[in-house]
Amino acid sequence: MAEADAQRWDGKHATGRPVEAEPPALLRGREHLLAGGGRALDVACGRGAVAVWLAARGFVVDAVDISPVALEALAALAERHGVADRVRTHRHDLDAGLPAGTSSGYDLVVCQRFRDPARYPALAAAPVPGGLLAITVLSGGDGPFRAAPGELRAAFAALEVIEYREGDGEQALLARRTGAGP
């Protein structure tokens, strides 16, 4: 399955329009919530728009994706922005969980448009206490890539919700991890 996923995403990334460094939608206008850097995890990072934006803001970023084409584009984007030394890429099949060494200790975890409820506990545990999780998934309709109504709010109920929205075909949650547990 991993190789088929990689080939499918390689095709999409190879023909997609160029990307530039940009924040995830949940953090636009909320940059004040980000400490002056730290560690960040970008799950299913694609061609690296968010990873490079975070690195430019002083974060050291672990960027995970299954597509080598996407990770090559990310590396080129990071180089153009002068932040290649702050972005570490991981080619990894997220169906197998998070890559070794990326399960905890992050000031910020971003996951955009990747949905796997089996990964929700790991995503909730990855931020340090006080750290943020920004997650967006498709919703509405049927299929394995569509979240059920209220799915993110329920899955991350142990976190302090800063913003939750649902509509227009997506769910988005920005939350802070409090205390020692997820």
pLDDT in tens, 92-112: 999 899 999 999 999 999 999
Within 8 A by CB and 6+ apart from 33, the residues are 27, 132, 162
DSSP single-letter state for residue 21: -
Mean pLDDT in residue range 58-62: 97
How many angstroms separate the first and last alpha carbons of the chain?
30
**Per CATH, which fold does 2-176 belong to?**
Rossmann fold (3.40.50)
Q: Which residues pair with 90 in a beta bridge?
A: 64
Mean pLDDT in residue range 148-163: 96
More confident of the two residues 37 and 172: 172
Note the pTM of the prediction, 2 decimals: 0.89
